[in-house]
Amino acid sequence: MNLSQKKILLGLTGGIAAYKVADLCRQLVKAGAEVKVVMTKGAKAFITPLTMQALSGNPVHDDLLDPSAETAMGHIELAKWPDLIVIAPASADFIARATAGMADDLLATLCVATAKPIALVPAMNQQMWANQATQANIKTAAKRSFHIWGPASGDQACGDVGFGRMIEPLEIAQKVDAFFNHKPLKSQHWVITAGPTVEKIDPVRYLTNRSSGKMGYAIAQAAANLGAKVTLVSGPVSLDSPNGVERVMVQSAQDMLQAVESATENSDVFVACAAVSDYRAKNVAEQKMKKQGDDGLSIELEQNPDILQWVASNRDCFAVGFAAETQNLIDYAQTKMERKGIQMICANDVSRADIGFGSDHNELTVFYRAEQELETYKLGPKLKTELAQDLVELVNTIRK
């Protein structure tokens, strides 16, 4: 790791994982970073400011209204100072306060007062992590461009097992290093599709599916974070555009094909993550269709264009498909890979509530043909944001 001349503000909140942050601080300093530490009142119950001062080589800050700070505006000074703010551990309470924009202590105020990037490293009991309020706060934080690193799944101090465990100090330090230095996709152009498509039946009715777009958006953000130029062709979703990504919004499969044809003209990688409708109404009614007694309604459908197959046949780029299945996952995915003539396919079981449509977690079985052999990789289960980075790096490795 090389963090020479990088300024890292390390924020500690209350949680048993705070004791591990001493090692994180040591690793960041060893890598060449200048580290300043801010601690909440809760954090000081688990590890002393003196420890963090000795490891960072700088005084620890814990007072919002510090009379010794320049012009008594220490929070503004600190907010402008770092290149990156890392909050580890980030407790459920702190995530809630930061998401709400509260400024009731020094660390929370810094999050409001800074324009610098912020990484939250969650650490809490598995039930607290699973709580609907916490999940809603995490989603909001991600939409507001907080980086979310973790949590991991495993044994917890309370005896429970599950998601909520803080990722290890070495992994956090590596993520800091990657944030500044790891740009392996520089000069590459990635085109990614995401979300559902919408096929009109009449002016008020349509055919669609339950895709949330989360996986495709996570892949787009991961590719952009790693240095790629990214074009995201998205169906209708309720997600904000990822940072540093060009987003093209479309409705139907035909709209998506047209956008993909244009975007992939000089692309290096195409990832077909969108759940494209297989069929559309052959004849779209100009007016709202009315009930026709008790005989039901018949709608004639015709097949939509196969966007992934078109790219595989007409573009010289590395094509990656997705197979969202509810049964026979491996067989269906391999058959789809051969039929479409693509180099890689990612299969996920959408029948599982924990990794299906709308979930923040996913698990992928990735197939790739290397010469005559079919290679298999298992990714996850992880948060989609973390899984996306693993997948993007795997694609880049295999392409070489």
For the packed helices 21-30 and 169-181, what is the interaxial angle rounded to 10 degrees? 40
Q: Residues 390, 379: contact at Cβ < 8 Å? A: yes
| Cis preceding-peptide flag for 89 (omega within 30 of 0) | yes
Output DSSP code: residue 240: P
Q: Quote the tokens at residue 378.
A: 């298992």
Rounded to whole angstroms, how far apart are CA atoms 308 and 318? 11
DSSP string across 266-281: G-SEEEE-SB--SEEE
Q: Residues 341, 292: contact at Cβ < 8 Å? A: no
Is 25 considered catalytic here? no
Among the listed residues 158, 273, 317, 346, the single catalytic one is 158
Place of tokens 């991600």: 142
Q: Residues 78, 9: contact at Cβ < 8 Å? A: yes
Work out whether strand 229-234 and strand 189-194 pair parallel, antiparallel, or are unpaired.
parallel
Q: Residues 201, 159: contact at Cβ < 8 Å? A: no
Rounded to whole angstroms, how far apart are CA atoms 210 and 205? 15
Which residues are catalytic, by number?
Answer: 158
